[in-house]
Structure 1
Amino acid sequence: MNWIIASSFLLFIGSVAFISLYNSRRKKADTLNRFFLADRKLAFFQVGCGLLFTNINTSTIIGENELVYTHNMTVMAWGVTSVLAMLLVSEFIMPMYIRLGISTTPDFLTARYDRSVGKIVSMIFLFGYIINLLPSVLYSGALAMNGLFNFSAAFNVDYSTSIWILVWILGSAGCLFTMLGGLKATTISEMLLGMGLFAGGLMLPVFGLKYLGHGSIQQGIHVLLTNHKDHFNSIGSSSDPIPFGTLFTGMLLVNLYYWGTEQYIVQQALASKNLKTCQKGIAVACLGKLISPLFLCVPGLIAVHVFAGMQNPAEVFPMLNRLVSPPIISGFIAAIIFGAALTTFNAGLNSSSTLFILNIYKPWLEKRSQIVPEKRLIWSAKLFQIIVCLIAIMIAPLIILVKHGFYTYVQTVNGFFNVPIFTIMFIGLVTRKVPPLAAKIGLTFFIVSYGLTQLVFNIHIHFLHILAILFVITCGIMLLIGKLYPMSVPYQLKTNNLVDLEQWENRHFYTGILILLMILVFVVFSPLVLVK
C-alpha cells in the first residue's frame, strides 16, 4: 500500500468529517425536525449538493464506468435524462409537497388515500433500502476501496474476505456519522465532498489522457477519439444495456419516481428554507448531472484503451485511478469515493429512521395513547439505524454473486419498489376520487406482475419497457376501480406550509437552457459527432 495515497486519503476524509460534525453540533440535533430535516433551513447550494451527491454514489461511479468499459456510453442516460425529470418535479411536485408541509413522501399518500396506504408504502421503502440501496452502496464502496488500495494483497487475504472487512468498516463509519450529526452533518459533508468530487473527478480523465498519450494530453485525446469509437455511442440498440427507446418509457418513470418520490432524495429538498431555494437547488443539481459523465463515464472510455479483457470490469475506475494518478491525487480521489459511499449510505439510514419513526412507530404509540418525548424518539431512531445498518452489512457481500453487471442488477431490483410507488402517487395527484382500495390493488398487481416477468417468465422485453407497460395497465385498473367505487368525499389538498411558497422567477429561463444542454450531450455522444 502506498503511504502517500493513504495519508492524502486520511487527511481529506478526516477534514470533511471534522468540519461537518463541528458545524452540525453547533445546534444539537435534539428535535425530530432538526435531526431529520435540518430545521428546514438549508440554502440552495446545500440543497443542490445534497441532491447531487446523494445521487452520485459509489454504485453510479463504479457501475457506469463498468458498463462504458464493457459496452458503450448508453448508460449515461440514467443521469443525463434525469434532468428532465428533476425539472418536472421542481415545477409541479415540490410546490405541492412544501405547501402540504410534509416530512416524508408517504405523508402525502396518507393524506390522499388513508393511513394504511401510507404505512404500506413506508414498509416498501424500508424493504427497498434494507435489501437493495444500503447493501449496494456498501458493496460498491468496498469494491472501490479494495481496487484503490489493493487491500487483498496488502493484508494477504482473499478477495471476498477483503470485501467483507471493508463493508464492515464503511457501514460502521456511516452509521456513527449519521447518529452523531443527523441530516445537517450529512448535507454539509455532501457539499464539501461534492466540490471535491468535481475537482478530483475532472482530474482523473486528464491524468488518464496523459497516460494514454505517453505524457501528451493532446496525443491521448487523439488515441481516445480514433480507436474503439463504438464505445462513444449513447444511442443504444436492442443489444445494449439501455436501448434508446427506454429513455421515453420506463426510464422516464424511474427518474420521475426517484427525484419526486424517493424519500432519501426528497428529504434533501424538503429541508430547503423556502420553495425558491428548493427550485434553485434542483437547478444546481441538474447542472451537476450534465457535467457528471466526465467522471462517471469518461474514465471507462479511457480504460478501454488501457486494460484489455479485465476479469472483473467493476474495478475499472479504482484500477485506472491507481495506475494514472499521482499518489497524492489518488488518495484524494479515494477519499471522494469513500465519501460518496458514506453520504448516500448516511442519507439512506437517516431516511429509513425518518420513515420508521414518523410513519410507523410514532403513529403506533399515538394509537395506544402514549405520548413520548422527542428525545426518546430520537434515541429510538438511532437504535433503528443500528439495526438497519447491521442487516445491510450482512447482505452487502452477497452481491458479489450477481450476474449481468452490478449496476444493471441494482436498477432491475429497484423496479420492484420505484415505479409501483410512483404509479399510485401519480394517480393520487391527477385524480380526486380514486379510493385507497385502488392504491392497494395497484401496488400488489404491479409488484407481483413485475416479479413474475423477472424471476419466473423470460418474455425477452427490456425491464424498463416492462415497467412502462405495467404502469399503463395499473393506472387503468386504478381508474376503473375509482369509477366503480369512488370516494364519497373527494380529496382536497390542505395547505400547511411551514416555509415561504414564492416560486423562483427565473426558473423557466434556466429550464430551457438545461434541456438544450441535455439534448446536446446526447448529440455529441452519437453517430452524428464522436461516433462518426
Structure 2
Amino acid sequence: MTQTLVFVLITASIALLTYWKCRQFGSRGTGAKEYFLAGGSLSWIFVAGSLTLTNINTDTLVGWNGNQTLIVVWWELAGVAGLLLLAKVFLPIYYRNNCTTVTELLERRYGEPNLRATVAFLFLLGNVAIFLPIMLYTSSLFLISLFDLQIPLLLVAATIAVAGALYAIFGGLRAVAISDTYSGVLLFGMALLVVFLALAAVDWNLADLPPERITLIGDANSKVPWHTLLTGMILSQLFYWSTNQTITQRALAAKSLKEAQLGCYAAAVIRATIVPAIVIIPGLCAFKLYGETGDSTYGRIVSDTLPHWLTGAFAAAMVAATMTSFNSTLNSSAALYVCDLHQRYFNPKVNITRLSVSVSILFALLGIGLVPLYMGAESIIQLIQQLIGLFSMPILAAFMTGLLFRNVDARAVIASLLFGAGLYALLTFGWEAWYATAPDARIKPWHFLHVMFITVCCCIGFALAINRAIFSRRARFDFRKIA
C-alpha cells in the first residue's frame, strides 16, 4: 500500500509541476512551430533535460544492464560525439534553414517534397513499429519484475501508453520537455542510488568477474568488437543525435541556436559522467550475485537492494522515464505526419492541434498492439540497435549525399533509400538466417555495425551512380558549402 501511495504521489507531482510550469509560458499557439517546437521557448536546461531523458529510459536501463558486460558502455560514450556533432555541425544548418522537422532540410537541399515525404514515412515506420512498442515492453517488464505483478504485461503497457500520450496530446512539446527534465532529476537520483546499493551488495569489488565481462576491448565475438568503433558506431550515433526527428526536435525548440548548443553540451557532460555508471554497474553487480539473468536483471537487482519503502519512488521514476521517451516519440511522429505528409498531400490548412491528437491516439494504439512482437527477445537493446539500421543508415546516407554533393537528382536518392534498406536486411537478417542453416560455412555474418558502415557507403555510391547513369547529371563534391 505504501509503495502504491508513493508511486501515485510522485507521478501526480510531476504532472502538476509540468502543468504549473506550462501555465507560466501562457497560452499555446495552434501553429506547427508552437505545437511541435514549443514556440521556440525552451531554455538550455530544458533542452538538456529533454535530450537526456528522451534517450535514457527503461529500454536503456533494462537493456544495457541486461547485457551484464562493460563493453556496451561504448554505445553511451559514443553518444557524446553524437551530441557534439549535433551542436557544432547540424544545428547551425537546421537553424539557418528555419526547419520544423529534419526532413525539411532534405526538401530544401534537393528541391523535392517527395523525398521529404519518403524519409518522413520511414521515420514513422521506425517510431511506430520499433521504438513505441519496445519502450512499452521494457517498462512493463521492469514493473512486473520489481513488484512481482500477476497481471498481463499488455495491460501494464496500455496503462503506461495512455498516461504518456496525455502529455504529448494535450501539452505539445513544451509539456514533454518540461516533464522530461523534472523526471530526469528523479530518475538519475534513484538510478545513482541503485548503483551505490548494488556495489555495496558485492562489497565494492568487481575485480573477480570473468575478464570478458569487464574488458573495453572486444574481440570478434564480443557485443561490440573493437573495430566496429571505427566503422558503424560513429555513423549510428550521427544518425541518432543529428538526423533523428525525436532527438533534434528538442534542440530546434530552443530560444536560440546558442541555447540549443548549450543544451547539447550539458547533455554531453551528463552522458560522459553519469550515464555510463547507471547503465553498466548494476548489471555487472547482478552477474556476480545471480549469474546471467538477461533483461530481467535490472528489475531484480533493484528489488533486492532498494529499501522496500523506496520501490514506489523508483517505480515512479522509471515510469516517468518511459512516459517521457514515449511521449517524445509520439510528439515527433505527429510532427512528421502533420508537417511532412498531411499538410503536403491532403490539406495544408488543417487544424494542427486536432489532427495531432487524432494521429497521436492512433500511433499509441498501434504501439500497444505491437508489444507482443518483442516479448522473449534475447537482448532487447541489441535488437533495437540492429533493427533501426534498416532505415537509419539509408536516411543518414541521404543527408550526407545532400550535404556533401551538389547537382544530385532527388529521385536517385529515393532509389538509394530502397536499395539501402534491402541491402542492410540482406547482410544482417538474411545472412544470419542463412548461416543458422549452414553453421559450417567459412564466412560468418558481419557485425551489424560493420553492415551499417557498408550500407551508408553503398547508398551514397548508388545514388551518385543512378544520378549519372539514368538522370545524366554529374554530382559535384562541395564540402565548403555544407551550410
* TM-score by shorter chain over 0.5: yes
State the Cα distance separating 1:266 from its structure 2 match. Answer: 0.5
| Larger CA deviation: 7-16 vs 183-192 | 7-16
Residues 365-403 of structure 1 deviation map (CA, whole Å, 9 limit, x = unaligned): 45xxx634xxx221011000001100110001321143x
- Residues in 1 aligned to 2:217 and 2:474: alpha-carbon distance in whole angstroms: 49
Q: Where does 1:168-183 land on structure 2 (aligned, <5 Å)?
A: 168-183=158-173
Alignment of 1:132-531 (within 5 A): 132-152=130-150, 157=151, 162-212=152-202, 220-221=203-204, 223-290=205-272, 291-310=274-293, 313-366=294-347, 371-372=349-350, 376-402=351-377, 404-458=378-432, 460-484=445-469, 485=471
The Cα of 1:330 is off from its aligned counterpart by 2.4
Pair 371,53 (structure 1): closer, same or farther in 2 beyond 3 Å: closer
- Paired residue type of 2:87: S
Shift of 1:45: 1.1
| More divergent stretch after superposition (331-340 vs 136-145) | 331-340
**Whole-angstrom distance in 2 between the partners of 1:338 and 1:67:** 21
Q: In the alignment, is the contact (CA less than 8 A) between 2:431 and 2:445 conserved in 1? A: no
2:12 to 14, 19, 28: 14
How far 1:460 sits from its partner (Å)? 1.2
For structure 1, the 5+ residue unaligned runs are 213-219, 496-500, 502-532
C-alpha contact (below 8 Å) 1:434/1:481 kept by paired residues: no
Counterpart residue number, 2:103: 106
Q: Helix, strand or coil: the match of 1:151?
A: coil
Deviations 1:19-71 (A, max 9, x none): 11232245333413222111111111111111111011111110000012xxx
Indicate conservation of the 8 Å contact 2:50/2:250, yes or no. Answer: yes
Check the 8 A contact 1:167/1:397 in 2, yes or no.
no
Pair 184,487 (structure 1): closer, same or farther in 2 beyond 3 Å: farther
Distance 1:229 1:238, change over 3 A: closer
Counterpart of 1:129 in structure 2 is 127
Kindly provide the amino acid, as one letter, of the partner of residue 398 in structure 2: I
- 1:66 and 1:34 map into 2 onto residues whose CA distance is 39
Quick check: 2:468–2:474 contact (8 Å CA) kept in 1? Answer: no
Offset of residue 90 of structure 1: 1.2
Which residue of the partner structure matches residue 520 of structure 1?
none
CA contact (8 A) 2:408 2:474 kept: no
User: Counterpart amino acid of 2:106?
Assistant: L
Question: Shift of residue 209 of structure 1?
Answer: 2.2
1:245-303 Cα deviation digits (max 9, x unpaired) = 11111111110000011101010000011111111111111111112011111100111
| Structure 2 residue identity aligned to 1:304 | F
Q: Does the CA-based 8 Å contact 2:404-2:478 persist in structure 1? A: no
Amino acid at match of 1:357: V
CA contact (8 A) 2:146 2:302 kept: yes
* Identical positions, percent: 28
Equivalent residue of 1:246, what SS? helix
Deviation digits for residues 322-367 of structure 1, max 9, x if unmatched?
Answer: 111112332222211111111110001001110111111111245x
- Three-state SS of the structure 2 residue aligned to 1:371 is coil
1:82 to 79, 86, 89: 79
Q: Partners in 1 of 2:126 and 2:212 — Cα distance?
A: 35
1:457–1:305 distance in 2 versus 1, CA, 3 Å:
closer
Corresponding residue of 2:436: none
Q: Is the 8 A contact 1:20 1:188 kept in 2?
A: yes
Question: How far apart, CA to CA, are the structure 1 residues paired with 2:168 and 2:410?
Answer: 35
Query: Deviations 1:161-201 (Å, cap 9, x if unpaired)?
Result: x2111111111111122212111111111111111222111
Q: Number of residues paired by the alignment?
A: 465
User: Which residue identity does 2:371 align to in structure 1?
Assistant: A
What SS does the aligned partner of 1:456 have?
Answer: helix
The question of whether the paired residues in 1 share the 8 Å contact of 2:65 and 2:282 is answered with yes
Q: Does the CA-based 8 Å contact 2:416-2:463 persist in structure 1?
A: yes
Structure 1 180/491 Cα, relative in aligned 2: closer, same or farther at 3 Å? farther
Q: Distance in 1 between matches of 2:445 and 2:157?
A: 35
The TM-score with structure 2 as length reference comes to: 0.92
What is aligned with 2:55?
55
Distance change in 2, residues 1:397/1:443 (3 Å) = same
Tell me if the contact between 1:134 and 1:348 (Cα under 8 Å) persists in the aligned partners: yes
Give the aligned residue type for 1:342. M
Inter-partner Cα distance in structure 1 for 2:357 and 2:289 = 45
Amino acid at match of 2:283: G
| Shift of residue 124, structure 1, vs aligned partner | 0.5
Following the alignment from structure 1 to structure 2, what is the Cα–Cα distance between the partners of residues 145 and 79? 24
Distance of 1:97 and 1:360 partners within structure 2: 20
Deviation at 1:477, TM superposition (A): 1.9
- 94-103 vs 240-249, which deviates more? 240-249
Deviates more, 1:259-268 or 1:318-327: 318-327
Tell me if structure 2 keeps the 8 A contact 1:433–1:491. Answer: no
Secondary structure at 1:474 match in 2: helix
Paired residue secondary structure (1:81): helix
Contact 1:137 1:341 in 2 (8 A): yes
Report the Cα distance in structure 2 between the residues aligned to 1:81 and 1:309, rounded to whole angstroms.
Answer: 26
* SS in structure 2 at match of 1:224: coil
Deviations 1:461-517 (A, max 9, x none): 111101111211221222233445466999999x9xxxxx9xxxxxxxxxxxxxxxx
